[in-house]
Amino acid sequence: MPPVFRFAPSPNGYLHLGHAYSALLNVELARASGGGFLLRIEDIDATRCRPEFEQAIDEDLAWLGIAWEQPVRRQSEHLAEYSAALDRLSVMGLVYPSFESRAEIAKSVARREAEMGSWPRDPDGAPLYPGSAGSQTDAERELLLREVNHRVGNSLQIIASLLHLQANSATQEDVKAALTNAMGRVAAVAQVHRRLYTSQDLKSVLLNQYLDALLDDLRRSAEGNRMSRLTLKAEPIEIDPDRAVAIGIVANELVMNAVKYAYPDGAGPIHVDLRGDGNDIVLSISDDGVGTNGKSDPRSTGMGQRIVSAMATKLEATAERDPNHKGTRIVLRFAHSKAAKPAVAAAK
């Protein structure tokens, strides 16, 4: 089988001379051995990788006279395959926890070589991982996770407080509303981390406690008595943190929507209800206000509706408006446990 060489840049910046040398070297090795040459774009870091940098990579390689097999392989399009491969390695006992940097591992290997004279290495010459020197116990990992959730929750709460202060000082109503909505969204995420920090179980969130704390945040941030009749009826259902965030954001958006549009002349009742129904969870947010009569409010930007739709997709939920309810009632229904995805075959 002819060898395959690859060049794998990350599109988080422009290529430099070292990249060009590496690409040209691999192309020449492929030509000399009758092998193939692949271009793999390492674009997993979505916060730094940009399309304009990938376009620049293509242009630079073309200028160098380099051609590659098609299609280009982008790592972000094959995450399921990588996950499946990792699962197989885990079943084989070839995955282990490590909390050491490469420099720390190198020091540990050097120390052991000084003591023992040699240390086993893989076929490429890299030293085998030295074992439990940098591993952590379950209790240490749990403590670390609690500390991370505590710090993240506090940081997000500071951001929410700053947004609240800015909203209070805003003179334009649309700016004030936008800042208040942003504050609620940040608070929804912050509350999950605060729940995890104080919970006995770092893998789940009790939705009744989470929603109660979230609605308390909303009441404190509301002007006047706009949320004085906001009520919650929720069963103690546990769910994973990622989906708890989506539920909190949905509740925030729909409650804020009711506050803004349901009662033009003042405050009124807003009800949040969460219950189990067999294998499903049902979340409803309702008011007894003016309703919509199929019309959208001219003051609405549609942002809240888009956010609710995105979160419903994340939850794999159905979202429906109750046509028989006086006022507005939105009902989301989703499975308590997320459906397992079918295994994906490894890439060849």
210 and 323: one domain?
yes
Residue 167 belongs to a domain: yes
Rounded percentage of the chain residues whose pLDDT exceeds 70? 88
189 and 303: one domain?
yes
For residue 275, the model assigns a pLDDT of: 94
CATH at 251: 3.30.565.10
Q: How many domains does the chain have?
A: 2
Let me know: does 40 contact 6? Beta carbons within 8 Å.
yes
Q: What contacts 129, CB < 8 A, 6 or more positions away?
A: 96, 98, 105
Segment 84-109, tens digit of pLDDT: 898 898 888 777 777 677 787 888 88
Instruction: Identify the residue whose tokens are 């160098």.
Output: 64
Task: Check whether 297 has a pLDDT greater than 70.
Answer: no
* Strands across the sheet containing 36-41: 4-7, 36-41, 73-74
75 and 144: one domain?
no
Task: Check whether 72 has a pLDDT greater than 50.
Answer: yes
Q: Is 25 left (phi over 0), alpha (psi -120 to 50) or beta?
A: alpha
Residue 281 belongs to a domain: yes
| Structural domain of 286 | 139-335
Task: Check whether 189 has a pLDDT greater than 90.
Answer: no
For residue 338, the model assigns a pLDDT of: 67
Segment 158-173, tens digit of pLDDT: 888 888 888 888 889 8
For residue 224, the model assigns a pLDDT of: 66
- Residue 79 phi/psi, 5-degree rounding, is -65, -35
Choose the weakest-confidence range: 51-55, 100-104, 256-260: 100-104
Query: Residue 253 is inside which H or E element, if any?
Result: helix 241-261
Which among 61, 56, 49, 64 is positioned nearest to 14, based on CA atoms?
56
Q: How far apart are CA 80 and CA 90, in angstroms?
A: 15
Q: What is the pTM of this model?
A: 0.56
Rounded percentage of the chain residues whose pLDDT exceeds 90? 31
Query: Other C-beta atoms within 10 Å of 60: how many?
Result: 17
Single-letter residue type at 329: R
74 and 206: one domain?
no
Give the mean model confidence (pLDDT) for residues 241-261: 88
For residue 199, the model assigns a pLDDT of: 67
Let me know: does 215 contact 272? Beta carbons within 8 Å.
yes
